[in-house]
Amino acid sequence: MRVFAIADPHLSRLHPKPMTIFGPNWQGHPEAFFRGWREVVAEGDLVIVPGDISWAMRLGEALPDLLDLAALPGKKVLLKGNHDYWWPSISRLRAVLPEGMYALQNDALVLDGVAVAGSRGWQYPPATPEDERIFAREVERLKLSLQDLKGKPYRHLVVAFHFPPFGPKGEATPLLELAAEAKPQAIVYGHLHGADPEKLPKEYRGIPLHLVAADALAFRPKLILEVG
């Protein structure tokens, strides 16, 4: 099995939103996203999608986007992004997800020996007291996610975030330190659009850090692990 990751699909089937307003990297979206996925992902693969999945505001409006994702090859693991306003309670979301699609929130998932844990994260350093509250909550969510792995056998671990788990100068944050303590094989994140990948940290304590925002990948999911 291969493990891929791609964040920030920014789908909008019901109310199409042209992403080219955010830069030329989005030319051909969303068709390029679906085409790129099909070019590299096979049915037996796992794809982590860490956030900003749909522009929808309500779950019912996001369902067409979720179904479009479900129709693509491979199993999918979803995490919430800062624009996923449609994301309801986790129980309500899981009740409507198609087979082979999973959502994480305060917990973790193990599939074929590969564990996926994570949280949305938040901007760092926090700019306001509200940001501080949200960031602290995301730290607790990551703790819960990693604690959920106790007693679950797995051979490989990927920790996923929507926001980068480091600061603007590449400095470690409490989220990155907590993730590193779990000794994952990789850490993936999205959210950054138009960033120069060469200026971003590539690893932390020997753990690879992967920017997987869709536009940074030219809409082709990035291979993170090849296992078994």
Number of residues assigned to the chain:
228
Give the number of other CB atoms < 10 A from CB of residue 83. 17
- In this prediction, residue 208 carries a pLDDT of 98
pLDDT at 21 over 80: no
Query: HSE of 160 in the Cβ direction (CA atoms, 13 Å)?
Result: 34
- In this prediction, residue 39 carries a pLDDT of 98
Task: Give the integer Cα–Cα distance in Å for 152 and 84.
Answer: 29
- In this prediction, residue 30 carries a pLDDT of 96
> To which residue do tokens 């794809």 refer?
47
Sequential DSSP letters for 160-180: EESS-SB-TTS-B-HHHHHHH
Q: What is the mean pLDDT of residues 143-170?
A: 97
- In this prediction, residue 51 carries a pLDDT of 97
Q: What domain count does the chain have? A: 1
The residues, any chain, with a CB within 8 Å of residue 77's CB and separated by 6 or more, are: 46, 47, 48, 49, 102, 103, 104, 109, 111, 116, 160
Sequential DSSP letters for 30-76: THHHHHHHHHH--TT-EEEEES--B--SSHHHHHHHHHHHHTSSSEE
With contact defined as beta carbons under 8 Å apart, do 100 and 70 qualify? yes
Res. 189 pLDDT band, cuts 50 70 90: very high
Q: Give the strand order in the sheet containing 2-5.
A: 101-103, 75-79, 46-50, 2-5, 222-226
Burial of residue 129 (number of CB atoms within 10 Å: 0-12, 13-18, 19+): exposed
Res. 163 pLDDT band, cuts 50 70 90: very high
Task: Give the integer Cα–Cα distance in Å for 211 and 30.
Answer: 19
- 6-10, 20-24, 58-62, 149-153: range with lowest mean pLDDT: 20-24
Q: State the pTM of this model.
A: 0.97
- In this prediction, residue 22 carries a pLDDT of 81
- In this prediction, residue 4 carries a pLDDT of 98
Bigger pLDDT: 199 or 154?
Answer: 154
- In this prediction, residue 23 carries a pLDDT of 82
- 43-57, 118-132, 147-161, 194-208: range with lowest mean pLDDT: 194-208
Task: Give the integer Cα–Cα distance in Å for 53 and 7.
Answer: 7
Task: Give the integer Cα–Cα distance in Å for 26 and 142.
Answer: 31
Res. 149 pLDDT band, cuts 50 70 90: very high
Res. 153 pLDDT band, cuts 50 70 90: very high
Tell me the per-residue pLDDT of 69-78, one tens digit each, with 9 for 90 and over.
999 999 999 9
- In this prediction, residue 24 carries a pLDDT of 85
Structural domain boundaries, residue 65 = 2-226
Q: Which of 46, 70, 82, 17 shows the shortest CA–CA distance to 213? A: 82
Domain of 184, CATH number, reads: 3.60.21.10
Res. 16 pLDDT band, cuts 50 70 90: confident
Bigger pLDDT: 174 or 21?
Answer: 174
Q: How far is CA 172 from CA 25, 130, 167, in A?
A: 28, 21, 6
- In this prediction, residue 128 carries a pLDDT of 97
Cis amide linkage into residue 174, ω under 30° from 0: no
